[in-house]
Amino acid sequence: MTATAAPALVAGRIVLDETVAARAPWSAIVRRGQVLTIVDLYGNQAVDCLLYNAEDTSERYSAPDTIAAQGGIFLTTGSVLRSSEGRALMRVVGDEVGRHDTVGGACSRESNTLRYGQHTKHQHACVENFLIEGARWGLGKRDLVSNINWYMNVPVDPDGSLGIVDGISAPGLRVALRAEMDVLVLISNCPQINNPCNGFDPTPVRMIVTEE
């Protein structure tokens, strides 16, 4: 596999361009009006994402408010990523994949023991990344809520059956998010190896912030 050298999805002056190692956390404040482009460098890499109002982190991303306001569970171009107070944190302004998940949540050591068995207890997980990276900003366990999973594919069957299935992303595909207020973006580059969310092979992703 080779990484695709993809530029930002929305043209602008680059203020940040970083690669997040496989399995690693990442965070940054994206100022109002700036655009964050996430690049799935190697394809089908779940990027777990939480958003906070940078001025008051008690206001944070809300999956149900986002779903209820748009009347659907998939995130794509036009989706407004809403807060626990119903306000717009970010807006999806570009998407080369088609749909992303916000139902499946983040993997954790604890939920891995239920999903796969106690032998997975000491495997790294997204909640570990959220906790250690969040701690840098004064956030703790109480601040973690249902998140966004960029590039993850979670269909709901007619009978309500739901699960993480093979992804529909590919190397180099991008999603772009415009900040509607100053937003703290907390990322876990998902380390899961027990289901198809990362193609059973966690890989790096690229984060580019641009502004006009």
Among 112, 96, 104, smallest CA distance to 152 is for 104
11 binds another protein (CB under 8 A): no
32 or 121: whose CB is closer to another protein?
121
Beta bridge partners of 165: 153
Which residues touch 113 (CB under 8 Å, ≥6 apart)? 120, 121
139 or 209: whose CB is closer to another protein?
139
Name the one range near another protein by CB under 8 A: 16-24, 34-42, 59-67, 175-183. 59-67
Distance CA 33, CA 35 (A): 7
Name the one range near another protein by CB under 8 A: 10-18, 34-42, 82-90, 183-191. 82-90
78 binds another protein (CB under 8 A): no
Which member of 3, 4, 15, 74 binds another protein (CB under 8 A)? 74
Which member of 163, 166, 200, 201 binds another protein (CB under 8 A)? 163
Least distance (Å) from another protein to the CB of residue 108?
7
Applying the rule CB under 8 A, the residues between 180 and 209 that interact with another protein are none
**Do 101 and 149 contact (CB within 8 A), yes or no?**
yes
β-pairing verdict for 25-30 and 148-150:
unpaired
Collapsing DSSP states into helix, strand and coil, what is residue 118? helix
Task: Give the count of beta carbons closer than 10 Å to the beta carbon of residue 159.
Answer: 6
Tokens at 120, concatenated: 């997975």
Among 140, 150, 65, smallest CA distance to 106 is for 150
Distance CA 172, CA 83 (A): 29
119 binds another protein (CB under 8 A): no
Least distance (Å) from another protein to the CB of residue 63?
6
Which backbone phi and psi does 127 adopt, to 5 degrees?
-60, -35
Least distance (Å) from another protein to the CB of residue 12?
29
146 binds another protein (CB under 8 A): yes
Residues that bind another protein (CB under 8 A): 58-59, 62-65, 67-69, 71-74, 84-87, 99, 103-106, 108, 110-115, 117-118, 127, 140-147, 154-156, 159-164
